[in-house]
Amino acid sequence: MLSEIRRLTRFANQYEAEFAKTIMGHSQQTIAAERQSKQKELNAMLARDKELDGLFERMYEDNVVRKISDERFPKCQSDMRKNRANLRDGLRL
């Protein structure tokens, strides 16, 4: 039993550097993949934020030219603000 422990200890010491490189390489790949996924998610959220800007502007213009009633406009505004708040909460995660 003691000889087996010594043999395993020598083996571990002999391949320690290779093991460390393998583990670090795997960790770096995991981090890179996670970063790429988060970047993709961020880009989608930023695109949605830009889309909301355009929708809000069109809604405002429609209200000015009376395509949307003054009664309906505040409801639309409220819905858009909630949507934007949810989007921004997602960006903070």
pLDDT in tens, 3-59: 888 887 888 788 888 877 777 777 888 888 999 999 998 899 889 888 888 888 888
- The pLDDT of residue 40 is 94
- The pLDDT of residue 82 is 83
The total number of structural domains that make up the chain: 1
- The pLDDT of residue 93 is 55
Report which of 33, 59, 48 is spatially closest to residue 91, judged by C-alpha positions: 48
The C-alpha torsion from 82 through 88 and 91 to 93, rounded to 10°, is -70
Question: What does the pLDDT average to over 71-90?
Answer: 80
Domain around 10: 2-92
- The pLDDT of residue 85 is 83
Integer angstrom CA distances of residue 34 from 30, 37, 65, 81, 87: 6, 5, 47, 30, 20
Contacts of 90 (CB under 8 A, 6+ apart): 45
- The pLDDT of residue 66 is 81
- The pLDDT of residue 39 is 93
Q: What are phi and psi of 16, to 5 degrees?
A: -60, -45
Contact yes or no for 39/70 (Cβ under 8 A): no
